[in-house]
Amino acid sequence: MSSTQLKESIDVLKQSGVRITPQRHAILEFLINSHSHPTADEIYKALEPEYPNMSVATVYNNLRVFRDAGLIKELSYGDASSRFDFTTSNHYHAICEKCGKIVDFHYPGLDEVEHFAASVTGYEINKHRLEVYGICPECQAKENH
């Protein structure tokens, strides 16, 4: 984990007037360390043994605070639960159709798509999102055995 990322994130929250509770600290630290794009339930289940008084609602409320502060992205892919991503820089996702695993990848050339879309449609383009779907290496290995 990057202690720099944690410190910078805590500073952002403090500047927004958000009090840093032990639960907030733990949820934020979990997100920084996680590369799996966890759901609120997954975060709750991971932290519940250490914080038995924390509820699922506490996790959801804190995720909303972090999202509103611009620290995390909420990813919804049409299923029932959102996933949360600490990496807010422009990147894209490869999603396994079998197990749901999500992996980040960067491809800078897609920024040109926004400029092209703006010139063709006349829209003022604010953002874009790209997801590619397939079968992850682990699920491929299971299929081949």
What whole-number distance in Å separates Cα of residue 26 and Cα of residue 28?
A: 5
Place of tokens 């794009």: 37
What whole-number distance in Å separates Cα of residue 45 and Cα of residue 49?
A: 8
Contacts of 101 (CB under 8 A, 6+ apart): 36, 95, 136, 138
Query: Which residues are known binding-site members for Zn(2+)?
Result: 96, 99, 136, 139
What whole-number distance in Å separates Cα of residue 94 and Cα of residue 102?
A: 6
Query: Which residues are known binding-site members?
Result: 96, 99, 128, 136, 139
Query: Which residues are known binding-site members for Fe cation?
Result: 128
What whole-number distance in Å separates Cα of residue 61 and Cα of residue 139?
A: 33
